[in-house]
Copies of this chain bind each other. A is one copy, B any other.
Amino acid sequence: MAKIVECVPNISEGRRKDVIEACVDQIRQTAGVTLLDYSSDESHNRSVITFMGSPEGVEEAAVKLAKKAAELIDLTKHTGEHPRMGAVDVIPFIPIREISTEECIALSKKTAQRIWEEAKMPVFLYESSASAPHRQNLAAVRKGQFEGMAEKVLLPEWEPDFGGRTVHPTAGTVAVGVRPFLVAYNINLSTSDVSVAKAIAGIIREKNGGLHCVKALGLYIEERDMAQVSINMTDCNVTPLYRVVELVRAEAKRYGVSIIGTEVVGLTPMKFLIDSAEYYLQLENFDADRQVLESHMLK
């Protein structure tokens, strides 16, 4: 089986189709990677590109994308609602298969070095790749944005990890790092009372002492006249989907409320669903890498 890494760069362009396509073409034209998705937000003036592949392929595609974005996107002329500090703003690497977080961190550093050398954008390492705890959080790294970065990098605690203190005059700086796969997961309740969803969200979220790697909000979904617990699972290897479902089910009972359905928004690695199948089916000694047919067919 092969090592697989996912990469989800965000570029600071969500309006000019030709620029977006030229950037996405860098992924399309790189061997060893598969473009999964890309989408643009005009009001944010930002696009999210999702691709995956071999570590070598992902590195090459990320560097080519950074060069093209630095060439075509001028942040001195950029407006949009979303905070940003670079033409390519953030490049997260996500270990998917057969690759450890440590190997992925090494990959992120190698890529960061090349982005500085080839695109001349200074790089902050963030999340698991961060060189200090205060640099883990992307919002903290990006604070001050493009306009404030020339000044910010002069502070002792904010020297970029690669490229020194000279911000690229039009392309700015970029954050590169490793994070786990995020699953956006909604649990729909048999009530229209949003206070029930809010109460349950408050119980399950990590911040309040609930489950690790769970962020949750209670929402009212008007189209379905229904309350929903909207969840970001930041690491399903720590807290699997079934555990959240069963905890929500147990807490909902107190209100005479049940789960009417759940939704995975976007993508998930196969493992996170198989983990839940294993739990509910009470599978003993199941080895997905060996026993799931498709595991043997991955490039």
- Contacts from A to B (Cβ < 8 Å): 4, 6, 34, 36, 52, 96-97, 188, 241-242, 245, 259-264, 266-270, 273-274, 276-278, 280-286, 291-294, 296-299
Contact B280 A242 (CB under 8 A): yes
A97-B268 Cα distance, complex, nearest whole Å: 19
Residues of B within 8 A of A34 (CB): 296-297
Q: Is the CB of A262 within 8 A of B281?
A: yes
Q: Are A270 and B274 in contact (CB under 8 A)?
A: yes
Once bound together, how far apart are the Cα atoms of A284 and B260, in whole Å? 9
A281 in contact with B241 (CB, 8 Å): yes
* A153 to B: closest C-beta gap in Å: 36
Given A281-B245, A282-B261, A284-B261, is A292 in contact with B276 using a C-beta cutoff of 8 Å? no
Given contacts A245-B281, A270-B270, A273-B274, 20 further A-B contacts (CB under 8 A): A4-B297, A6-B293, A34-B296, A34-B297, A260-B282, A261-B282, A261-B284, A262-B284, A263-B285, A264-B283, A267-B292, A269-B292, A269-B293, A269-B294, A273-B278, A274-B274, A274-B277, A280-B280, A294-B294, A297-B299
State the oligomeric state as a number of copies: 2
Contacts of A269 in B (CB 8 A): 292-294
**Cβ–Cβ < 8 Å partners of A262 in chain B:** 281-284
Report the bound CA distance from A291 to B283 in whole Å.
24
A274 vs B273: C-alpha distance when bound (angstroms): 6
State A273–B291 Cα separation when bound (angstroms).
11
Closest to A272 in B: B277
- Bound-state Cα–Cα, A281 to B278, Å: 12
CB <8 Å contact, B263 and A284: yes
B281 contacts A242, C-beta separation under 8 Å: yes
Minimum CB–CB distance for A36 against chain B, Å: 6
